[in-house]
Structure 1
Amino acid sequence: MMKYPIYLDYNATCPLDERVLKAMLPYFSEHFGNPASRSHLFGWKAQEAIDIAREQVAELIHANPKEIVFTSGATESNNLALKGLFEHFSPEKNHIITLPTEHKAILDVCLHLEKLGAEITLLQPDSSGMISPEAVEKAIRPNTFLISIMYANNEIGTIQDIAKIGALAKKHNVLFHTDATQAVGKVSVDVREENIDLLSMSGHKLYGPKGIGVLYVNAKSDAKNLVAQMDGGRHQRGFRSGTLNVPLIVGLGKACEIAQFELKKVAKQTENLRNQLEQGILQHVAGTSINGHIEKRLPNVSNISFEGLDGERLLDSFKEIAVSSGSACTSASIEPSHVLKSIGLSDELAQASIRFSVGKYTTQSDIDFTIHYVKEIVESLKL
């Protein structure tokens, strides 16, 4: 028997893997020590768990465990990366290159830094959400200290040419940061091969717990000079003070270990289900189209526009499936997605676009039901 609503919003968050929960539980009660307590067994046990988690995270992204800084999530990681580097390089260098399709956790930080004297260049992506490495290179100035470009877009799934952008950043002696929140655990990420100096990620996007994330800081580049944004105790080599949340860190580590082992299998599984869902909706529902790059994208996400429909009404009608509009809610209305507007969609079409994101717990029957359900809802709204 199917359970409703069917969850198709994995890009928003993932359910906790039961193996992750099992790994975390002892650290809430039995192994409750503070890893900063260096004089007894309770602290040693907690520190041992932290060290293992660092290795698990580092292995997934091909980093050194010492380069892993635990944060409360990707939003904090993004803040630490951009604000910390700006504070180090300013005023001699104050220019950041990024995209208008970035997550608000990047764009809002840039707005904040502009008030402090930063110069921000927002490069215009093409209609698929891609930016060419050549366009990035042309935007580099003598005062550029950072390029920050999302690895894979959270709304449309488009994957940027990270390796080439990283290479040209290195060529021009500019640091390269990527918000890889949606990419890590879904596609292969290699910070060494792709010349990434800083990388942000969150645990709950790869079946780990909420409230825990990572900032990878390349110890061999100027990224290591970023200025801490949270002081008090000089934890984590001074990058981020505060008592470490051992249960959540253990959970993130375990989630990364599982993701590394299952990555190819889950990617193939989700891509197959995503393609079936996409093809079924496009075949049976008139006036639909795909947003984003058709080939260079995450294996689990499809952003579909429903021409001629009211987006808010459409989303409200989907009672038996959990999906997202990708829109930012304001106090009185739903604004069109800034990502979709940035790649050329009108306000009306952007508002009438739905993000479907499947995961490793999505079933074939979920997809079959959703195709017919979406067809019925759309047809009823057009009457």
Structure 2
Amino acid sequence: MNNKGIALATETECTGCSACYNACPTKSIKMVSSDEGFLYPLIMDTCVGCKKCENSCPIVNVNHNEIVKKRAYACINEDIDTRLKSSSGGVFALLAHHILKCGGVVFGAKFDVDTQSIIHTIIDKQENLDQIMRSKYAQSNIGKTFINVKKCLKDGQKVLFSGTPCQISGLQAFLGEKYDRLYLVDVICHGVPSDVLLLKYLKYSCPKKNITEMNFRDKKKGWTDYGMSLTTDRQTKWCPKDQDPYMQMFLRDFCLRESCYNCKTKENDCADITLGDFWGIREVLPIIDDNKGTSLVITRTAKGEKLLENIIDKCKCVEVSYEDAVKYNRSEYSSTQRPIERDQFYKDLNQMSFKSMVKKYVSISWKEVIFSKLVELKIIKE
């Protein structure tokens, strides 16, 4: 709490959604980067104590969605080219295309060449859709996106906003009211690493070269055997996920934002539709598994169900039970377990070379990681 009586989320709970920053009428909040590279709000002396920031914090003010009934589907975009370019089954592209076709706009995360980071942006043309397709495993900078969403809604436009569950909750809290023209689509979120880690990885992978394109889920060798691809002005470098240091640090949970280990927004999901990978499709619906990607689609509201109906003729879609849908994707309903290495990881990142980080945190075997987790959970003793 600051001296004006403003109480925002604590540092361990803050998701960095930037709702408070967007809500401040006097521009008295800055989003500043911590030593770990995560954004947090800083309230300046110009604060007038109006508490609009506090009222927009999704952690302080919990939003509850009007869930009718969660329904789950396995979906595949019938356009094979779009599916292959997508991280999973290509459903997001269909949803976005529908909104654009209706004259609306779509907000999503893209890799920004100038800053070499992930930022949120707006598109209003089909030809720009590729920018915000595919998963990005880093926290996107929202900037003034929430303000722009509200302006579009006030102008009478349809808006599809895609992001993490905490960004969806932040937008809902910022808006403070429901809009029939607003469609909220979130992703099943494992957690987010920071900008500092991403930038150091990029410099390590492509020294003295600017990355022009980045694909965290390049399916060159299939959906389950995806890899990281980095494109410079000269070439594209592809590395399988099992060997890529960034993906291994991410998948082993060392580098996530502190709030991700105890996510407050999973239990109060505000999205109309949730998208993810349908891991386990081979066991649930083997007939449609071709290793080119299958989307898990969860509709949470009547509006979400209606939106899905608008694209159903362009995809292969099979309803499944919610239990089968999330059986192999626990990130839908639970937070990531915080590893004991997390306490030291970001300290090392600021003091060690990335090469040394790779040796310390990636060269260890999965057996060692599993053993560490079992010790942490007190299932076995060291």
TM-score by length of 1: 0.30
Higher strand share: 2
Length-normalised TM-score, structure 2:
0.30
